[in-house]
């Protein structure tokens, strides 16, 4: 093959080396606009997984890299002078110039042609003359721009400012400094890359950057290679204590905003994207160089294995794109955490450290406990102390309260529509469904959205609470929960609004009933989506009737014995549709500003709160974002939560979306938890109001991690409880917890221990515990010296 590579950075050079080794007959040419010794940045960090793949693919390159590595396992975090160390992580770094030199020498040895100080020829010419054109030309890729219609790139400019420095202070581990200054929170990301220097990245929100006067050079155009010396001077002053008299090193150092690059497609014909041209991920979870070299490994393998370039590029995108997108989701969580770091300045320093370590959701409490059991135990013990519970109990089994109602643990069964009620009357199915979840160990079991009127139903199968027959049926379920379990049970009340009069979920979700059945209403005459009912705009007289219906249902819920009432103001139903500018286009006092859009939902809430005895808490579920360009955002959600708290909400249950059919949610593990986190730290925590996180929380490890980091006070889980009605009890068994927070019903107690699995005759290496006192495999530091590499190799083996 004839292969043209635009860009002689680590990704392009490594691909050239791999392809030349796979077939010496390949004719490979690389164009690099910079000189061989030009490079920006200082160090490059690798994971053990990446290094294993590099070692397998090219032992020569790996061997040269290994001789230059700085290795360590610790993360040091300094929070306003409070120092913490978390071990067991595993890092390897080296100088970026050293890496480039190794790769340049390797491709030269293999016979690859590299043109330095030379722009790549026109991409149209390259794709005609070469079998394969690789765009490894970085963030501002010329090739990607030329074929943007085919690749579909998006560049997301983020809110933080950062500047990439080095320092001659050699850190012993990955080093974070979180510093509260008179202008706001600033942070340092640092790590050693040699025996002579460390990377030293300064980052802060743009607002903080401006308040600190660091925007003084904002309009200055620095020539390539020239650094912002004013920034050097100011950072030296601000972080003098952290630098201990050491120098800041520069290399084209200037203030930047991080851009997340994504592409719908990674190839077009015989042109393929690699590295930053295809994707970027925030530096707080790893290096772009690492991702580019992983791209090169995958692309080389696909080209070697597949019968044609077309098949290879398809395989490359199929294999690699989902992996990168997963990394980008983690990076997005991480960069957003750092953008919002100012929210956490009031956290206990140890909790803030745990929050920082677990920010991307890739590290959780459970794997942190495997890596550094002492730090994990400290976090669990401190959480228990603050909760007033058993110090041996995991976080999820610590008690807490909602509006004075004490809950035995932090697990809630989320409201889930079952669509099997008859004329709104819950059946034996509901008794088994809700009763079984209560027996299964959750502290609070919530009903499905129970509708306040026949025309307030979503489907004909939705439960209701507008007549005596329904109240009696619900009372039977409540009595079972109270008599047979130690759980509490809550009633969620709602009105479907414009999403009503639809088929049962399994017959066609959101599809209108064939005969129309009943008329639907909304704040405006706008349908939920294509093919949906067009609602009638509700008038003031009918709004008053709806308020009365909510109050009547709440009264019945109290009479039925429910412990808690939740007002459903999420997911695009009537109250939610008033809150959202997407569905509310009214021009009266109930539309327009957020204050106006809140007016009717708050009127309903106030009426329920006035009707319900004070001892019964009234909570609210909200959609924290509409996932639409013109919809509510997380900032709006904070104000919505603030308003409900001011009106007496006992808890804020934070969900998102489902306001319009064309939403674009960013699904992922615990994907809604950041909204709960924001609401908790910006308004609810100070008011003493608990926050409930919900959405793709599926494991007890997720629950413990969310609670310990202070992102929420409770976790509501839906689908995991459908999969396993005894989810909470089984979580207790898995964690070897036995106590009042997870009591097994007496008839089930014989099964409270996890059943044995397949037999193993493997004998654990007991003598491995008899290490020398000085051997610490959890905490390995980078302390350069004559025996450094031998010591590190032993400690990490």
**Residue 371 CA: distances (Å) to CA of 89, 350, 360, 504:** 7, 17, 17, 47
Active-site residue, from 573, 671, 723, 737: 573
Residue whose token pair is 């014995």: 561
DSSP character at residue 133: E
Phi (first) and psi of residue 128, to 5 degrees? -80, -35
Strand-pair partners of 693 = 654, 715
Going by their DSSP bridges, the two strands 75-79 and 174-181 should be labelled as parallel
Q: Please report the sign of the dihedral spanned by the C-alpha atoms of residue 696, residue 697, residue 702, residue 707.
A: positive
Residue whose token pair is 């910006």: 682
Task: Report helix, strand or coil for 455.
Answer: helix
Q: Confirm whether 573 is a catalytic residue.
A: yes
Phi (first) and psi of residue 224, to 5 degrees? -55, 130
Q: CA 469 to CA 457: how far, in whole Å?
A: 17
Q: Which two tokens stand for residue 316?
A: 């490359």
Residue 336: CB partners within 8 Å, gap ≥ 6?
Answer: 674
Nearest in space to 709 (alpha carbons), one of 264, 217, 363, 306? 363
Q: Specify whether the CB–CB gap between 201 and 255 falls below 8 A.
A: no
Phi (first) and psi of residue 463, to 5 degrees? -70, 155
295 burial type by CB count under 10 A (0-12 exposed, 13-18 middle, 19+ buried):
buried
Strand-pair partners of 86 = 75
Nearest in space to 457 (alpha carbons), one of 495, 420, 405? 495
Nearest in space to 455 (alpha carbons), one of 599, 555, 622, 574? 574
Task: Report helix, strand or coil for 348.
Answer: coil
Q: Which two tokens stand for residue 541?
A: 């007289």
**Max CA separation in the chain (angstroms):** 86
Listed in order, strand segments (DSSP E) in 488-540 are: 488-494, 521-522, 536-537
177 burial type by CB count under 10 A (0-12 exposed, 13-18 middle, 19+ buried):
buried
Task: Report helix, strand or coil for 385.
Answer: helix
Q: CA 613 to CA 619: how far, in whole Å?
A: 13
What is the dihedral angle through the alpha carbons of 587, 588, 594, 597, rounded to the nearest 10 degrees? -110
Residue 595: CB partners within 8 Å, gap ≥ 6?
Answer: none
Phi (first) and psi of residue 232, to 5 degrees? -60, -45
Residue 80: CB partners within 8 Å, gap ≥ 6?
Answer: 178, 179, 180, 349
DSSP character at residue 682: I
Residue 60: CB partners within 8 Å, gap ≥ 6?
Answer: 106
Q: CA 77 to CA 197: how far, in whole Å?
A: 19
**Residue 499 CA: distances (Å) to CA of 222, 318, 390, 575, 653:** 56, 37, 45, 11, 21
Nearest in space to 581 (alpha carbons), one of 532, 523, 497? 523
Q: CA 630 to CA 747: how far, in whole Å?
A: 54
Q: CA 89 to CA 716: how far, in whole Å?
A: 30
Q: Specify whether the CB–CB gap between 560 and 476 falls below 8 A.
A: no
Alpha helix (H) residue ranges in 660-760? 673-679, 685-687, 700-708, 719-723, 727-734
Provide the annotated active-site residues.
573
């Amino acid at each position: 093959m004839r292969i043209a590579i635009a860009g002689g950075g680590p990704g392009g050079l490594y691909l050239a080396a791999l392809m030349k080794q796979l077939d010496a007959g390949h004719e490979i040419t690389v164009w690099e606009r910079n000189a061989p010794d030009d490079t920006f940045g200082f160090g490059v960090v690798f994971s053990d997984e990446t290094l294993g793949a590099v070692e397998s693919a090219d032992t020569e390159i790996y061997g040269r890299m290994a001789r230059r590595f700085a290795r360590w396992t610790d993360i040091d975090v300094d929070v306003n002078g409070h120092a913490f160390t978390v071990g067991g992580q595993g890092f390897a770094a080296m100088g970026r110039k050293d890496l480039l030199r190794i790769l340049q020498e390797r491709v030269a040895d293999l016979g690859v042609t590299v043109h330095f100080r030379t722009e790549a020829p026109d991409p149209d010419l390259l794709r005609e003359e070469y079998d394969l054109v690789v765009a490894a030309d970085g963030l501002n890729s010329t090739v990607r721009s030329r074929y943007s219609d085919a690749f579909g790139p998006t560049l997301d400019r983020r809110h933080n400012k950062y500047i990439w420095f080095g320092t001659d202070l050699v850190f012993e581990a990955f080093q974070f400094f979180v510093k509260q200054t008179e202008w706001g929170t600033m942070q340092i990301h640092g790590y050693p890359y040699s025996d002579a220097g460390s990377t030293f990245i300064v980052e802060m929100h743009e607002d903080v950057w401006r308040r600190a006067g660091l925007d003084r050079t904002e309009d200055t155009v620095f020539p390539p290679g020239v650094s912002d010396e004013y920034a050097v001077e100011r950072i030296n002053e601000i972080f003098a204590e952290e630098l201990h008299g050491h120098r800041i090193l520069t290399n084209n150092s200037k203030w930047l905003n991080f851009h997340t690059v994504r592409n719908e497609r990674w190839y077009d014909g015989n042109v393929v994207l690699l590295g930053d041209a295809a994707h970027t991920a925030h530096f707080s979870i790893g290096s772009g160089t690492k991702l580019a070299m992983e791209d090169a490994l995958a692309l080389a393998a696909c080209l070697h294995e597949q019968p044609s370039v077309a098949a290879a590029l398809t395989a490359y995108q199929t294999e690699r794109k989902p992996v990168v997108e997963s990394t980008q989701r983690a990076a997005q969580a991480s960069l957003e955490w750092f953008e919002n770091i100012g929210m956490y300045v009031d956290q206990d320093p140890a909790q803030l450290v745990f929050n920082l370590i677990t920010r991307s959701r890739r590290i959780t409490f459970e794997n942190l406990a495997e890596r550094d059991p002492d730090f994990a135990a400290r976090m669990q013990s401190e959480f228990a102390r603050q909760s007033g519970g058993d110090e041996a109990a995991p976080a999820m089994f610590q008690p807490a309260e909602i509006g004075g109602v004490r809950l035995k643990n932090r697990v809630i069964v989320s409201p889930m529509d079952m669509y099997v009620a008859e004329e709104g009357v819950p059946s034996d199915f509901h008794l088994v469904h809700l009763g079984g979840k209560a027996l299964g160990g959750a502290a609070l079991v919530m009903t499905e959205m129970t509708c306040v009127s026949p025309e307030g139903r979503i489907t004909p199968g939705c439960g209701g609470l507008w007549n005596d027959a329904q109240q009696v049926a619900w009372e039977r379920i409540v009595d079972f929960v109270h008599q047979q379990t130690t759980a509490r049970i809550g009633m969620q009340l709602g009105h479907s609004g414009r999403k009503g009069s639809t088929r049962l979920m399994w017959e066609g979700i959101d599809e209108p009933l064939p005969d129309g059945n009943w008329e639907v209403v909304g704040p405006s005459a706008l349908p939920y989506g294509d093919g949906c009912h067009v609602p009638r705009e509700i008038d003031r007289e009918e709004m008053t009737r709806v308020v009365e219906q909510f109050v009547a249902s709440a009264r019945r819920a109290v009479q039925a014995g429910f412990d808690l009432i939740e007002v459903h103001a999420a997911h695009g139903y009537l109250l939610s549709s008033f809150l959202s500018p997407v569905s509310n286009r009214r021009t009266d006092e109930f539309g327009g500003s957020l204050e106006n859009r809140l007016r009717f939902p708050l009127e309903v809430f106030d009426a329920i709160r006035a009707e319900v005895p004070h001892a019964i808490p009234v909570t609210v579920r909200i959609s924290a974002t509409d996932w639409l360009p013109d919809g509510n955002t997380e900032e709006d959600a904070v104000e919505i939560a603030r308003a409900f708290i001011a009106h007496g909400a006992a808890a804020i249950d934070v969900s998102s979306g489902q306001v319009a059919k064309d939403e674009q949610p960013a699904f992922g593990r615990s994907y809604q938890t950041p909204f709960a986190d924001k609401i908790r730290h910006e308004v609810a925590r100070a008011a003493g109001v608990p926050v409930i996180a919900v959405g793709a929380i599926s494991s007890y490890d997720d629950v413990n991690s969310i609670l310990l980091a202070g992102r929420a006070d409770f976790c509501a889980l839906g689908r995991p409880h459908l999969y396993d009605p005894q989810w909470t009890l089984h979580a207790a068994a898995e964690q070897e917890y036995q106590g009042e927070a997870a009591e097994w019903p007496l008839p089930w107690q014989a099964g409270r221990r996890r059943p044995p699995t397949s037999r193993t005759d493997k004998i654990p290496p007991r003598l491995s515990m008899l290490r020398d006192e000085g051997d610490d495999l959890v905490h390995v530091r980078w302390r350069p010296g004559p025996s450094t590499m031998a010591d590190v190799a032993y400690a990490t083996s």
